[in-house]
Amino acid sequence: MMSPDQTFVYNGLSTRVVFGSGTSARTGDEARRVGVTRPLVLSTQEQKNEAQALAAKLGMDVAGVFSGATMHTPVEVTEKVMQVVAETKADGTIALGGGSTTGLGKAIALRTDLPQIVLPTTYAGSEMTNILGETSAGKKKTLRSPKVQPEVVIYDVELTLTLPPRLSATSGMNAIAHAVEGLYAEDRNPIVTLMALEAIRAMAEGLPAVLDKPRDVAARAKALYGAWLCGTVLGSVGMALHHKLCHVLGGSFDLPHAETHTVVLPHVVSFNTRAVPEQLAPVAEILRSAGPGQGLFDLAKRLGAPTSLKEIGMPAEGLDKAAAIATESPYYNPRQPAREEIRALLDNAFHGRRPST
């Protein structure tokens, strides 16, 4: 509830959103709408065929397809695609895929200010933000810039129908992390809180339904709607400890992005619940659990998602290093963690222990 004397600031996002089923057919029109006539289509190697098919349907002169996007947006990959941009004289990008491909499009935009159109095929949510995370020399750094805010995002439910259930689960948990941290963000406001709770509710209902029937359009639509809201929260307010830890683990140990978020989230939420119980109580209510951390852990288990860092490739000997990196520089969190507390949190996540709250 908002108090009568509450003062807050809300910055609306400038991205145009096209949501529905079959909306990818409008990609060419949307590109022309923002002045793009010779786009470079981006994808990962795994989605190269889909990117080529999309390029063939745009009805315009395409600069080409670059299928080298990879997780954590390594600077060396960006340097390669920048050469392609220059050689082909591309005047915009169309990113088809998840967070890796979206990140590559943002990295290009940061360096060129070229317009971006994004077609998400996962629930990553980064397409709705002005945030870019880049990895160099084993460390991932993030920045905010209006240059990396996509001009158009086209959500096509049909593009998510073939997303494997396990990837749907981890991508969805990654999205939920954005909404949960929005609830206790330093610059949170009532509008973001409404979006965050609606997002968590939609994902909590949609993801189990997707797991049961992966090609169910209604279930996919609910999950994609929730992911959109989660991404909007991520783009509207600052994040905290959870995202910091995931950037450390991903950048320094090359752990898979969505899986890392899935494993770490319940433990960070349990840690922060002591400081902000009122903000996190609705999460437990939505998940029908005694505590928010427990509810998120149980949801991941229900979805068949990983629940330990050990099973996604984290080396046990890296826990001390991760705790040290995570506490090198100050950042906002409702409960300031000491190094030994981070180490204990990571140990629980490493072994997949169910949180106490």
Q: Is residue 325 part of a domain?
A: yes
Answer with the one of 108, 125, 160 that is the final residue of a domain. 160
Predicted pLDDT at 189: 94
Residues 331 and 240: beta-carbon distance below 8 Å: yes
Triad 260, 280, 172: Cα angle to 5°:
35
Residues 120, 227, single domain; the answer is no
| First CA to last CA distance, the chain | 24
Q: Is residue 9 part of a domain?
A: no
Predicted pLDDT at 190: 94
Predicted pLDDT at 329: 87
Q: Is residue 46 part of a domain?
A: yes
Residues 61, 148, single domain; the answer is yes
- The model's pTM: 0.93
| CATH number, domain containing residue 195 | 1.20.1090.10
Residues 155, 171, single domain; the answer is no
Q: Is residue 357 part of a domain?
A: no
Residues 188, 74, single domain; the answer is no
Predicted pLDDT at 3: 63
Predicted pLDDT at 13: 80
Answer with the one of 160, 190, 216 that is the final residue of a domain. 160
Q: Is residue 5 part of a domain?
A: no
Residues 139, 238, single domain; the answer is no
Residues 131, 255, single domain; the answer is no
Q: Is residue 356 part of a domain?
A: no
Residues 174, 291, single domain; the answer is yes
Residues 261 and 175: beta-carbon distance below 8 Å: no
Q: Which residue in this structure is represented by tokens 């390029």?
A: 55
Residues 153, 97, single domain; the answer is yes
Q: Which domain holds residue 84?
A: 16-160
| CATH number, domain containing residue 45 | 3.40.50.1970
Predicted pLDDT at 355: 97
Predicted pLDDT at 201: 98
Residues 281, 150, single domain; the answer is no
Report DSSP state, residue 74: B
What secondary structure does DSSP assign to 103-154, as a single string?
HHHHHHHHHH---EEEEESSS--GGGSSEEEEEETTEEEEEE-GGGS-SEEE
Token duo for residue 66: 């670059």
Closest listed residue to residue 82, CA positions, set 14, 30, 126, 134:
134
The domain total for the chain is 2
Answer with the one of 144, 160, 176 that is the final residue of a domain. 160
Residues 137, 220, single domain; the answer is no
Q: Report the C-alpha gap between 305 and 114 in whole angstroms.
A: 37
Residues 174, 25, single domain; the answer is no
Q: Is residue 338 part of a domain?
A: yes
Predicted pLDDT at 2: 58
Q: Is residue 244 part of a domain?
A: yes
Residues 154, 170, single domain; the answer is no
Q: Extract the residue ranges of the chain whose pLDDT is less than 70.
A: 1-5
